[in-house]
Structure 1
């Protein structure tokens, strides 16, 4: 069909070219006729025939073009009909495909819905089973936890009852202690016993004195006096006296418990004043140089009391500076006593070092004497060796003479001589010459 369109167009173009060529030739003949003034008639006839031929050819070409156009129109109608038929067939096919796809999608949606429903039902069943299992385990765990908690509560309740009984007993004991410490003499005895236990635990035996009188003819007796580790005939003493101002301390604790700042300040001032008075008493009674050292120790039996005293700003420094008294509690006094014990150890080492030095000096003198003795012994040994060699020579000569004797009585002597000769060392020659 495209080839028919191409051949028709080529024929139409050729007819147009022929018409144009005929027109050009006729125009050229006219011009020539005008220019030549009626030249040769034969040429004119030839031209006329050519023009007629050209016109005929053009008419034929025109007829062919009309036929070609008619044919093209028919072809166009056929093509339009076929295109329409193809479009309708395509539309029918597309409709059929759409219907098929719609049916498949509907079936897929139905299948998917059924699958989702099955999955939902399976999930619901699994969820129900899991929930039942979880409920069962949770119920068991809760029951077990409740039993454990109840058992623990019972144990704690029993422990609390036991603790309440112990607290009741402790309260009674505290009441007994309060009644006991209400007596000043008993309170002082308890502090003295605690101080004695610390001294016995840290210091060596004989390092301290109890109830020691520091002044001649004085009635004042210090509870404990520690001998200081110094090289002296009579070593100086360190006076240690325990004090337990319970009333002022209890008033302070009661004010702190009631959150009463004013009462707390008043109780703290009273405690500081009491401590200053006791420090001055110790300084006036128990610091007696050269019998004692230049300071003394005031011992507080509890760390809580010492902590409250140490909280007062500048109190301990003031007492140490003005009264030359060091305030210590159960946590600090062992450190001081261990320092004193270390001084005893150092003193013992120094004394032992002096003894070792003396022993080494005596040993050196003895070694010098021993060297002289060994020199004499070496000279005597040389002389003794010569004498022994000569005696051995004489003995071997006598043995040779005895071997030549006959008789019954000579046999034992001969045997004895042989034994004696055999026992001698191989120092000499066979001829009896002494070995040198």
Structure 2
């Protein structure tokens, strides 16, 4: 056992012994002063013994520390020598590794130089190929572009010619619209197109004198069914287009001047009133005509501007018996009249249909009588046929009973022969 373990163990044992002695002394304190003397002696002996133990312990510790120091010193020398050898070996290995890396690096540099040279050669070939293809593509694209530009220039030149022609036509149209008579003709053409699309030719008339002995003729009139023998009752329709006043109103709207707008609207309403008054005085002659006429405005925007003021439309109907219409409203009104014409035609033909049905009923009664007689004859013929087939057949069979029957094969041969 080493001294490092013995010394602590001895100290612990000594401490336990001292504690035991102290306890024993405390127990024996009651036995008298003799014990105190004995205790003092024991204490002195213990002190002497402890001093001796401490001296031995110190000497042992010094020896032990000296031994440890000697071991450490010897181990340090061995470690230094080992480290020195390791350093030499490590330096040799590092030098060898550096040499190997230098060799590998040189090989890598040479390989990279070869790869770089090969890459440059390939890039040069690719550049030449790309330049060649790019040149061809560019030439083709430029050729196509020049061809396309040439075609577009020709188209532009052609379009300019068409625009010049169109400008000439617009100028002609403007001159036409600036003429009051021409504007009236334009409205008449539009009115004629609507009438032709909705009504049949025998349902309206053109340039009609609504009353005999009058020189005034209305542009178009719808033939309404009437009870007079003098002819149909006409519904006059006249087209009006107050262009100047309407365009002034549009310019006023564009300028945003409220005063100009009101002035232009008043001028437009005056023109519409004047046109309605002329139609009422010239073309309304009941019973040859209806008690109202239609004022046709060939533009929807113009019609919307007029009817937006509800007072104006009511005043025209009340004072002049004139109904203002636009292209859409006129078409709807004519469609309604067309449905009315068809309903009236059906009512007029209903009596004729009733007469035809009466005649058919009479003929059908006669047909029923003939069918009854024919059925009776057929029944009589059927009875005669039954008698002939039944009675006569039985008589013939009785007569043939006495006749000997031949075999089937002989009978067949005889009949076939």
TM-score in terms of structure 1 length: 0.60
Indicate the residue corresponding to 2:5 in structure 1.
6
Indicate the residue corresponding to 1:371 in structure 2.
368
Indicate whether 1:176 and 2:140 are aligned. no
Indicate the residue corresponding to 2:60 in structure 1.
68
Structure 1 residues 72 and 342: CA distance shift in structure 2, 3 A: same
- In structure 1, what is the Cα distance between the partners aligned to 2:15 and 2:370? 170
- In structure 1, what is the Cα distance between the partners aligned to 2:61 and 2:171? 142
- In structure 1, what is the Cα distance between the partners aligned to 2:301 and 2:280? 24
- In structure 2, what is the Cα distance between the partners aligned to 1:295 and 1:367? 51
Indicate the residue corresponding to 2:203 in structure 1.
207
Match of 1:293 among 290, 294, 297: 290
- Find the residue that maps to 1:428 and give its secondary structure: helix
Structure 1 residues 338 and 373: CA distance shift in structure 2, 3 A: same
- In structure 1, what is the Cα distance between the partners aligned to 2:16 and 2:250? 140
Task: Write out per-residue CA displacement over residues 73-120 of structure 1, whole angstroms, 9 at most, x where no aligned residue.
Answer: 322323543575588689879989999999999x89x98xx99xx8xx
Structure 1 residues 165 and 309: CA distance shift in structure 2, 3 A: farther
RMSD: 5.7
Indicate the residue corresponding to 1:228 in structure 2.
224
- In structure 2, what is the Cα distance between the partners aligned to 1:373 and 1:194? 63
Post-superposition offset of 1:229: 5.8
The aligned runs of 1:188-267 (5 Å cut-off) are 188-228=184-224, 236-249=233-246, 251-252=248-249, 266-267=263-264
Structure 1 residues 84 and 372: CA distance shift in structure 2, 3 A: same
Post-superposition offset of 1:207: 0.3
Post-superposition offset of 1:384: 6.3
- Of structures 1 and 2, the larger Rg is shown by 1
Task: Write out per-residue CA displacement over residues 357-391 of structure 1, whole angstroms, 9 at most, x where no aligned residue.
Answer: 444443334333433343344445556667x679x
The aligned runs of 1:53-92 (5 Å cut-off) are 65=57, 68-81=60-73
Post-superposition offset of 1:18: 8.7
Structure 1 residues 23 and 348: CA distance shift in structure 2, 3 A: closer
Indicate the residue corresponding to 1:429 in structure 2.
393
Indicate the residue corresponding to 1:274 in structure 2.
271
Task: Write out per-residue CA displacement over residues 126-184 of structure 1, whole angstroms, 9 at most, x where no aligned residue.
Answer: 9xx7xx89x97999998888776665555444333323322322232333344445554
Indicate the residue corresponding to 1:338 in structure 2.
335
Contact 1:11 1:65 in 2 (8 A): no
Task: Write out per-residue CA displacement over residues 308-330 of structure 1, whole angstroms, 9 at most, x where no aligned residue.
Answer: 54566754444344333222333
Structure 1 residues 432 and 381: CA distance shift in structure 2, 3 A: farther
Stretches of structure 2 lacking an aligned partner (at least 5 in a row): 25-29, 36-44, 398-417
- In structure 2, what is the Cα distance between the partners aligned to 1:147 and 1:307? 56
Contact 1:180 1:186 in 2 (8 A): yes
Structure 1 residues 306 and 140: CA distance shift in structure 2, 3 A: farther
Structure 1 residues 58 and 429: CA distance shift in structure 2, 3 A: closer
Structure 1 residues 186 and 21: CA distance shift in structure 2, 3 A: closer
Indicate whether 1:323 and 2:320 are aligned. yes
- Find the residue that maps to 2:237 and give its secondary structure: strand
Specify which structure has the higher proportion of helix.
2
Post-superposition offset of 1:279: 0.6
Contact 1:194 1:301 in 2 (8 A): yes
Indicate the residue corresponding to 1:45 in structure 2.
none
64-73 or 256-265, which deviates more:
256-265
Structure 1 residues 237 and 20: CA distance shift in structure 2, 3 A: closer
- In structure 2, what is the Cα distance between the partners aligned to 1:244 and 1:184? 9
The aligned runs of 1:123-134 (5 Å cut-off) are none
Structure 1 residues 76 and 365: CA distance shift in structure 2, 3 A: same
- Find the residue that maps to 1:429 and give its secondary structure: helix
Structure 1 residues 155 and 389: CA distance shift in structure 2, 3 A: closer
Match of 1:163 among 147, 150, 159: 159
- In structure 2, what is the Cα distance between the partners aligned to 1:432 and 1:259? 120
In the comparison of the two structures, how many residue pairs are matched?
Answer: 365
Contact 1:229 1:343 in 2 (8 A): no
Contact 1:296 1:326 in 2 (8 A): yes
- Find the residue that maps to 1:241 and give its secondary structure: strand
- In structure 2, what is the Cα distance between the partners aligned to 1:148 and 1:324? 70
- In structure 2, what is the Cα distance between the partners aligned to 1:252 and 1:21? 136
